[in-house]
Amino acid sequence: MNEKNLLEQARLVCQQRGARFTQIREQVFVLLTQQDGAIGAYDLLEKLKTIDPAAKPATIYRALDFLLDFGFIHRLESTNAFVACYHFGCLHPVQFLICDSCGDVAEIQSEGLKDTLNNQAEAHGFRVLKQTIEAHGLCADCQQTEDTSIKEHSHEC
């Protein structure tokens, strides 16, 4: 889904829920949809300041809280960064593949993972209300770069 369609969908969700999608909230959302990978709040604030020089940390945190509450974005707990959600409007389990080299983030839907987790939790008398799993590693591009680098620096004895 492209940035414009996401923005229209977010506006519609806000309208349906009787919430104000203020200019600042919209700007922060658009910045996140334009971002490759995750971005921290202060880096996001610097980008917002190019649009609104008066933006302060409280401005960005209020906008991020709103966007999180409405499911328009996700917070990566392990890196304390944020990414846009491309299929909001429903409660869904979230799994992320986070590249520790380039910072790329892929949101995936692992078949069966939700059921497995819920079954194991239920066996312990626990009910899962929200599920986010973050897996760190290397994306395909970084694996290829790393493999090339290892080959270039290896020496035969």
Contact 7, 26 (CB under 8 A): yes
CA distance 23 to 36: 22
Q: How much is the pLDDT for 61?
A: 97
> What's the pTM value of the predicted model, to 2 decimals?
0.82
- The pLDDT of residue 138: 95
CA-to-CA dists, residue 59 to 66, 85, 127, angstroms = 11, 21, 35
Say which residue, 119 or 155, is predicted with more confidence: 119
- Closest CA relative to residue 89, chosen from 157, 17, 142: 17
Higher-confidence position of 132 and 53: 53
Higher pLDDT, 125 or 150: 125
